[in-house]
Amino acid sequence: MSQEHPNQFALLGQRRFAPFFWTQFLGAANDNVFKFAFTLMVTYQLQLDWLPPSMAGLVIGALFILPYVLFSATSGQLADKHDKARLMQLVKSLEIAIMAIAAWGFYAANVPALLGCVFLMGLHSTLFGPVKYAYMPQQLSERELTGGNGMVEMGTFVAILLGQLAGGILVDTPIVGPENVARACLALAILGRIASQYIPASPSTDPNLVINWNPFTETWRNLKLAHEGLAVFRSLLGISWMWFFGAVFLSNFPAFAKEVLHGSPQVASLLLAVFSIGIGIGSLLCEMLSKRHVEIGLVPLGALGMSIFAIDLYFASTGLPASAPYTVSAFLAVHAHWRVLADLTLLALFAGLYSVPMYALIQLRAQPTHRARIIAANNILNALFMIASSVIAGALLGAGLTIPQVFLAVGLANAVVGIYIFLIVPEYLLRFAAFVLTRLIYRFRIVHDERIPTTGPAVLVCNHVSFVDAVLLMAASPRPIRFLMDHQIFKIPVLGWMFKLAKAIPIAPAKADPATYEAAFAAARAVLADGEMVCIFPEGGITRDGELQPFKGGVMKLIDGLPDVPVIPMALGNLWGSFFSRVEGGKAMVKPLRRGLWSPISLTVDAPMKPADVTPDVLRARVAGLLA
């Protein structure tokens, strides 16, 4: 049986994760206590001609995000060059100094000083972002990465929610409100610094890196660096789109609550609360749904849910009757409002399912020496997309669209963007198909999945029972597999299209088509040379009687001259008799749901073999042993 791994909550009991988690949690909470309290103070308590209340939120938001654009490239270099634990400790020390200045600003009601601190806290978050996401893959295994990202994402949104609620309550305290905010911000910064002291050492991944201090040339270089890995770069774009999408909703909650839902300011806080809870639940669900792997098949599911519930929010919030401002209790007493809250919660939940696997994919596949700079490129793109979100949403509202109509437009745009991303990065779509197949049609159990390597070249050898064997192996693997497949299978509708998307390598019998035969092995060896995995079905075709057929010699041709490439025997069990097998007199896909839904199947992975120990008969015996 495969090794049992604790769930994501168990990470909170381990030193490699818990101090890091609480450090980032306290930092996110402090950001929001400070920003929200300051915004309310300028909006309600101070009368400034040069900073009217209508502009306060915009100015504070812009100042906070500006460092992401200016300094993300530099922060990525620092995180790749230095020990990440030490860097986080220095950043948290900087936070204490910033909050000391902010405390004086709150006591003296000095708005320029507080605006300067907003910029500096943005710088603090800019420095912390790349080191945060580059730290996790150094400390967590591939099986823990999705859960760890889910915990961080959940923690961040809970911290945002609690920080804004605390900031609002503290600053609203008569007479001593600003002083209470000052004390709270300073205390959170000190607690964050204490937590960071316990983060274990995380050595530099590129100690010889020469820092380029020019943010503009380095930003461009980071974006080019990210673009070298297309799957990673397009995941960066996908995450940035999620921030564009989410920013439209978050920035419009106050006006949506007041003008559309006819609610009090507390109703706006309720919308933020259900949105944050939704993100948190979706982020935590990722580990369970992905079976503790990096499962990018969740991304299309997340995108689908985001669009469905954004579009339904338009219908749910259109035509609500005008009313005096609702209190929270009065708002909840109206049945129609529950649909609005459900849409927001589910929209956010699916956004969590969408974003967490993308973050995990970037961390897993980015080169370790460049990982923090790739994350920095992500932060730059996020900031640019959020700025574009504000501009475009403002333009749509200025053109006469209502807030629900803006939500509808973004929901429809999300569907278009999703389709585009999944067509140019078909791996997402293929993994989604594999996800559906292994969660809804079959109950898929994997034995010893830890033996499938997460890095380096490998040859996977498996029995061939059905037309969906390759899809099932995709679902089991934490990274892409290139399959050597009979050229005839590409002629099958839908499945043939899917295998073309997966870049399967067509192979024909040597006697029938020697050119295709040789080209297939040349292509497969090139894949191995690039450090990727190749799978071959050595029986040469799908079994017609359910029995394991003799293994042919193609695998020997593939590994010839590759003494260091491991060969991993695998066996698919209990697939014979399923809809996709040739059980109906040599024909497959004849009787839909012939074994019902959720019929149990399995994949058993054997220990890797050295090429020198491999022969077709030995391999067949190993696979037969797995099926016994």
Amino acid sitting at position 624: A
For residue 477, how many C-alpha atoms fall within 13 Å in the half-sphere facing its CB? Answer: 26
What are the residues whose beta carbons fall under 8 Å from the beta carbon of 4, sequence distance 6 or more?
Answer: none
The DSSP letter of residue 441 is I
Q: Are 614 and 557 in contact (CB under 8 A)?
A: no
Nearest one of 150, 153, 187 to 33, comparing CA atoms:
187
Give the model confidence (pLDDT) of 51-87 as tens digits. Answer: 776 667 668 888 888 898 889 989 999 999 999 999 9
Helix (H) or strand (E) holding 488: none
**Residue whose pair of structure tokens reads 């359910």 in the numeric block:** 546
> d(Cα 452, Cα 238) in Å, to the nearest integer?
27
> d(Cα 95, Cα 186) in Å, to the nearest integer?
9
Nearest one of 196, 164, 272, 176 to 20, comparing CA atoms:
196
Nearest one of 378, 66, 441, 123 to 243, comparing CA atoms:
378
Amino acid sitting at position 608: P
Alpha-helical (H) ranges within 18-52 are: 18-40
Q: Are 449 and 2 in contact (CB under 8 A)?
A: yes
Query: What's the predicted TM-score (pTM) here?
Result: 0.79
Give, rounded to a whole angstrom, the gap between the first and last alpha carbons of the chain. Answer: 15
* Cα-Cα-Cα-Cα dihedral sign, residues 400, 401, 403, 409: negative
Helix (H) or strand (E) holding 72: helix 53-81
Give the model confidence (pLDDT) of 118-160 as tens digits. Answer: 999 999 999 999 999 899 999 998 888 888 999 999 999 899 8
Q: Are 193 and 63 in contact (CB under 8 A)?
A: no
**Residue 106 to residues 33, 34, 185, Cα–Cα distance (Å):** 13, 10, 11
Give the model confidence (pLDDT) of 485-518 as tens digits. Answer: 888 878 877 777 777 877 889 988 888 888 998 9
What are the residues whose beta carbons fall under 8 Å from the beta carbon of 503, sequence distance 6 or more?
Answer: 482
What are the residues whose beta carbons fall under 8 Å from the beta carbon of 7, sequence distance 6 or more?
Answer: 147, 287
Give the model confidence (pLDDT) of 273-303 as tens digits. Answer: 899 899 989 988 888 887 767 777 888 899 9
On average, the pLDDT of the chain sits at: 88
Backbone φ and ψ for 239, nearest 5 degrees, come out as: -65, -40
Amino acid sitting at position 536: I
Q: Tell me what pLDDT residue 54 has.
A: 61
> d(Cα 411, Cα 409) in Å, to the nearest integer?
5
Q: Dihedral angle at the C-alpha atoms of 97, 102, 103, 108, nearest 10 degrees?
A: 140
Give the model confidence (pLDDT) of 541-567 as tens digits. Answer: 889 888 999 999 899 999 998 999 999
Give the model confidence (pLDDT) of 22-57 as tens digits. Answer: 999 999 999 999 998 888 888 777 777 777 766 676
**Region 107-124 average pLDDT:** 94
Taken as a whole, the chain contains a residue count of 628
> d(Cα 168, Cα 122) in Å, to the nearest integer?
20
**Residue 357 to residues 42, 96, 565, Cα–Cα distance (Å):** 39, 33, 29
> Poorest-confidence range of 92-106, 248-262, 273-287, 490-504?
490-504
Q: Tell me what pLDDT residue 2 has.
A: 37
> d(Cα 86, Cα 80) in Å, to the nearest integer?
12
> d(Cα 473, Cα 462) in Å, to the nearest integer?
9
> d(Cα 583, Cα 578) in Å, to the nearest integer?
7
What are the residues whose beta carbons fall under 8 Å from the beta carbon of 180, sequence distance 6 or more?
Answer: 170, 171, 173
Q: Residue 5 burial by CB count (10 A; 0-12/13-18/19+): exposed, middle or buried? A: middle
